[in-house]
């Protein structure tokens, strides 16, 4: 922890570290490096054919009965949030991957849960989710990043292996409500933002206050879309099994507004962090799948009724 603090202070104080950071070749907010330039800057990967995010066209989603429910381990444990960091491109909560994991949901094995981060627009009136559904963009999107257990907790190892199933990201839409400071878990999470308003700042006192389950309250996690895609930031490696849950998390607009009014961008420390999402990418030959809808059983019961009524005529 002391080492961490020293590195952190060095990052704040040393101009050399600063210039290294601002030499990063991508950004969200400047024409010279925003996401429309990423395919040129990172041609090996951001120019690929299986990129994320996408617009999900519900009429084209195919049914896949093997999209079973997930087992979430440690999502109810309040000692798993290790830190919250303003990376200058997002806000990231580091998770204890020895305690948290995900399996089931037709994933090929067990995945260790590393972190979650959030994409947003400019307050609740200017939405900033990455995925869209039939063109609808939600207020924000939360991404839980998990890495296949064979990589021993190293996302970098999974990306380096160019393993298309190396990483599993769980995406949750966030929709605004007119309530105040609800739910409690999001009030707690957003209360840390004032401590990390500067890029490259981090706070460690986030333990034992809330759980992953509390942040995901109200989402039925048996209903989701599935497709094969990429990281949504450079270098856009195509190593992600995407799960995008259908139900949004409902969060008061005042809490959503805290994100775009508190934190500042890397490289432009006086510019508020807004519109931190990548635009949707071509689906190409990919297919989005989901659980079979309840409709078939409905149809079955109608057929049964018709059969029964035809029996009456005999
Ligand atoms: C990105 O920059 C290009 C110019 O390079 C500009 O046309 C476009 O509007 C910008 N897009 C966003 C989302 O800022
Ligand atoms: C991206 O790929 C397409 C098709 O493979 C190609 O036409 C285009 O020139 C590439 N763009 C860049 C910037 O590499
Ligand atoms: C999920 O957990 C249940 C109960 O512990 C177990 O029976 C089942 O095999 C698990 N499923 C997967 C895919 O791990
Ligand atoms: C975000 O919204 C605020 C207040 O509505 C406005 O002043 C600001 O210009 C917006 N920023 C961007 C980047 O659109
Ligand atoms: C993960 O750990 C196991 C056992 O310690 C080792 O055999 C394996 O090579 C490691 N894999 C990676 C990708 O580091
Ligand atoms: C946030 O910053 C305030 C003032 O600097 C400090 O008193 C408080 O302990 C910090 N909270 C956390 C969780 O780091
Ligand atoms: C959090 O709770 C765990 C177990 O309940 C305890 O061991 C740990 O010291 C607590 N951490 C903090 C920072 O309070
Ligand atoms: C955190 O979890 C521990 C153990 O389950 C519990 O005793 C404690 O009250 C919880 N803390 C909060 C703030 O919910
Ligand atoms: C979640 O959705 C499934 C499928 O529609 C349904 O059977 C189940 O009862 C729902 N669970 C909850 C807690 O609402
Ligand atoms: Zn993300």
Q: 166-201, pLDDT tens digit by residue?
A: 999 999 999 999 999 999 999 999 999 999 999 999
Nearest CA to ligand 3 atom 3: 71
- Predicted pLDDT of residue 303: 52
Alpha helices in the chain (DSSP H): 2-13, 15-22, 38-41, 155-160, 184-191, 212-215, 253-262, 295-313
Query: For residue 157, which atom of ligand 5 is closest to its CA?
Result: 13
Mean local confidence (pLDDT), 24-45: 94
Identify which of 23, 81, 33 has the alpha carbon closest to the alpha carbon of residue 210.
81
Nearest CA to ligand 8 atom 9: 208
Which position has the token pair 């507004």? 257
Q: What is the rounded distance in angstroms from the CA atom of residue 232 to the CA atom of residue 238?
A: 10
- Predicted pLDDT of residue 85: 97
Q: 6-17, pLDDT tens digit by residue?
A: 444 444 333 333
Residue 9 Ramachandran class (φ > 0 left, ψ -120 to 50 alpha, else beta): alpha
Q: What percent of the chain has pLDDT over 70?
A: 86
Residues 6+ positions from 134 with CB-CB distance below 8 Å: 55, 56, 57, 58
Question: In this structure, which ligand is nearest to the CA of 77?
Answer: 8
Mean local confidence (pLDDT), 66-81: 98
**pTM score:** 0.88
- Predicted pLDDT of residue 125: 84
- Using an 8 Å Cβ cutoff, are 116 and 92 in contact? yes
- Cα–Cα separations (whole angstroms), residue 260 to 154, 172, 199: 30, 18, 13
Question: What residue ranges define each of the domains in the chain, with the CATH number in brackets?
Answer: 31-289 (3.10.200.10)
36 CB near ligand 1 (under 6 Å): yes
- Predicted pLDDT of residue 20: 37
Nearest CA to ligand 8 atom 13: 209
Q: 95-132, pLDDT tens digit by residue?
A: 999 999 999 999 999 999 999 999 999 998 899 999 99
- Predicted pLDDT of residue 137: 98
Q: What is the mean pLDDT of the chain?
A: 89
Rounded CA Rg of the chain: 21
- Cα–Cα separations (whole angstroms), residue 240 to 10, 200, 221: 33, 26, 19
149 CB near ligand 1 (under 6 Å): no
Nearest CA to ligand 4 atom 13: 274
Judge residue 182's burial from the number of C-beta atoms within 10 Å of its C-beta, 0-12 exposed, 13-18 middle, 19 or more buried: middle
Identify which of 162, 168, 171 has the alpha carbon closest to the alpha carbon of residue 238.
162
- Kindly give the distance from the C-alpha atom of residue 122 to the centroid of ligand 4, in angstroms, as a whole number: 6
């Amino acid at each position: 922890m002391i080492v961490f603090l020293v590195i952190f202070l060095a990052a704040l104080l040393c101009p050399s570290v600063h210039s290294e950071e601002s030499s990063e070749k991508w950004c969200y907010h400047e024409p010279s490096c925003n996401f429309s330039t990423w395919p040129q800057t990172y041609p090996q990967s951001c120019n690929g054919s299986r990129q994320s995010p996408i617009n999900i066209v519900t009429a084209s989603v195919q049914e896949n009965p093997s999209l079973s429910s997930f087992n979430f381990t440690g999502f109810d444990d309040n000692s798993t949030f290790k830190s919250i960091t303003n990376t200058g491109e997002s806000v990231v909560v580091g998770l204890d991957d020895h305690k948290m994991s995900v399996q089931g949901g037709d994933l090929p094995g067990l995945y260790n849960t590393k972190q979650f981060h959030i994409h947003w627009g400019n307050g609740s009136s200017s939405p900033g989710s990455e995925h869209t559904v039939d063109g609808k963009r939600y207020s924000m999107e939360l991404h839980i990043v998990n890495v296949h257990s064979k990589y021993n907790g190293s996302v970098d190892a999974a990306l380096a292996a160019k393993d298309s199933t190396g990483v599993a990201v769980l995406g949750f839409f966030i929709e605004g409500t007119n309530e105040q400071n609800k739910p409690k878990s999001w009030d707690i999470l957003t209360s840390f933002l004032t401590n990390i308003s500067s890029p490259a700042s981090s706070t460690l006192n986030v333990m034992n206050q809330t759980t992953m389950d509390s942040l995901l309250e109200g989402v039925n996690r048996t209903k989701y879309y599935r497709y094969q895609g990429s990281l949504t930031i450079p270098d856009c490696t195509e190593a992600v099994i995407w799960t995008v849950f259908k139900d949004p998390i409902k969060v008061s607009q005042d809490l959503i507004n805290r994100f775009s009014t508190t934190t500042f961008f890397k490289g432009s420390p006086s510019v508020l962090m807004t519109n931190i999402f990548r635009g949707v990418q071509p689906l190409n030959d990919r297919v989005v799948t989901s659980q079979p809808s309840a409709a078939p059983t409905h149809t079955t019961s109608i057929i049964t009724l018709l059969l029964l009524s035809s029996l009456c005529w005999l």
